[in-house]
Structure 1
Amino acid sequence: MKKKGLILLFVATALLSLSTGAFAASNINEIKAILNKDIKFVKNGSSWRPTDDRGSQVLPIVYNGTTYLPLRVIADAFQIPVKWNAASQTIELGEGNGQIDVTTFFSKDVKVDFWSEKSYDVIDKKQLVFEGKTYNGAYAFTAENVGLGWYDGSPNAKFNFGKKYNTLHLALYAESAMKIRVLNANNQQLSKEMSLEEGKVTEIDIDLQGSQYAIVSAYDAQNQAVKPLLYILKDSYVK
């Protein structure tokens, strides 16, 4: 009930981002407000920076002593689906059918581009046995040597999910101990640097912050003579 109450409060007070057609309505009144760059936000006890789907900062608007943020920014922050229905001039919050939209990497809607010496779309079941379990598919690419660390253009796989999502669940297998990180399309980090154990399947959740894209970048932490592969299992999903 707490979460529902919080969302309803924001629905009542948040500044709605609507299409141009909506502003043509006769019951829309022009107001004068200010953007306050000094206001800071704390979400669930941690510092929070409101951003749009491109990762750009969104400044709060202050009008008549009340602070406003776009409804979509709030909805994405609390992982509440929001949709604008232009035909009925209605903002739809939550899942209408009660089902969560989950898309695995098997979906044709998920596209991937690689920036690496070698990359593969692995479908051979013999190459997909990890920790005694056979998986049905994976994307794989060679990681960089540890000596180079992170740099602009580090080996990566860039995923386009076809639309915006809030959460990325990754299932990963590394041939060698590796360091990885996840970025958005603007090369802003969505995760801190994370370590993967050699020969282990690791599952992690990333806050996409309403992004349509994710870049998974990796380097080899052990400086192997032959650059090892990072496998991104297609059981990974977004929701």
Structure 2
Amino acid sequence: MNKNIKRTVATMMIAGMTVSGAAGVYAGTNMEKINAFLNHSIGFKINGSTYIPKDENGNKLAPITYHDTTYLPVRALSNALNTPIQYDSKTNTIYIGTSTTDQWVLTNYTAAQLDEIKKAFAGFDGFETAYAPQMMIKGDALLKAAATADGVNLLFKNMTVNVSPRDYSHDYDGTTVILSNGATAKWYTQGKTSMLSVKVDDRYVTVSSPNGKLSKSQLEKAAVSVTKVGAIQTDLVKVSYTAAQLDELKKAFAGFDGFETAYAPQMMVNGDVLQKTVATADGVNIVFENMTVNVSPRDYSHDYEGTTVTLSNGAKAKWYKIGDTLMLTVKVDDRYVTLSSPNANLTQARLEKVAVTVTKVGAAQTDLATVTYTAAQTKAIKEEYAKFDGFTAAYAPTKMAKDDAFQKVASGDSVIFWFKHMNVQISPRDYSFGYDSTNVTLPNGVKAKWFTPSDTAMLTFQIDDRYVTISSADNSLTKAQIEQIATGVAKLK
């Protein structure tokens, strides 16, 4: 269904909720009694398929006709259109799609919860590794982890996540969907509860919301975040490369034709330390005290049998062994990254955590300055955003080159920040659409694209519900600097 049709139907759905919710209730001061008709003659087709709206108990629902306008049953259609519907009783507001109540947060398991999760998985021979969702709707909470006869149930306030070697959807008719990470999943119904099943590595994950608080689209987002439980966050610290270390990194990569851009991990296990960077015949070794990170155009795992895993950022990686040393290889942009711990001090889970942080080395920190907006500039920025219906939250760049300066903000079909050396456009539109482009990963792990509409290279990426496009009209900024600046675009306080 295209966006315009979906928006029109969504508008009708709001009206449908208002009418159906008001019938027979007069306590509220804004309620008005009406005489309407249930219209049983109207049928539904969604994307060409017949659809029969039903309530939570499976009873058939009919549209309401009132003053020549048809009002549709909102809750039933929300699932059919895969559009979350929420009602905030505090503000008496209905939210369709993303809302202030639909905020995703990291699960941030406590040490005790991690122990409980790992113990629940530990009893399964060949299946000991713990998996759990990394994201949940704000306000949800893990209640307990319980081992079953052939899996583990992670019980949250508003959802249940089952991890098992069995595909429970196998004996049920259902609907196949593609999740946002490209994985194929299946929706089916067990009793009155919708269940989503997807294969993650060597096991099946089934996600549901027994209390009906989460929509299908929300459950699909939670399913995408289910991954191996690795090192807890406190095990990792940011790698702070010195200027000398950055120079050594860049020189090591500079000798490779077509492969000059330096890549390096942004995180390391607490207590580790970078020792040296060494160029080899076909790659670069970044040698730490407890790990070695090799970046090369070659896939060293190709000739070895191994085990495929999915990293926390959705990338496919492969574990294999050379001699007595375990090696993890993952493709990052146009090169292969191989991580190992020759002294065996780092676990596989920790190496996987570090692997997802390997990215392009951007401008050195000393090349960039913080953008400080005056009160007047902040007010002007917010006023430009206020002109966009449904797009009022203000976002702005917080990093710039040291000799740059913010000049003005303007709007048209986007909000444009004019600096001396760069332009930053924030828009509901993806301006790269229709152009040849090159995919890159920013230093903060966000996927972005370079494209060139004329003679100016432009970088675009999505942040929340909008697209950010950054360019340097006078070509005074390098791509590495622009990519580093991109990581600083954030909501304006």
TM-score, normalised to structure 2, is: 0.27
Greater RCO (Cα-Cα under 8 Å, separation 6 or more): 1
Higher helix share: 2
TM-score, normalised to structure 1, is: 0.49
Higher strand share: 1
Larger Rg: 2
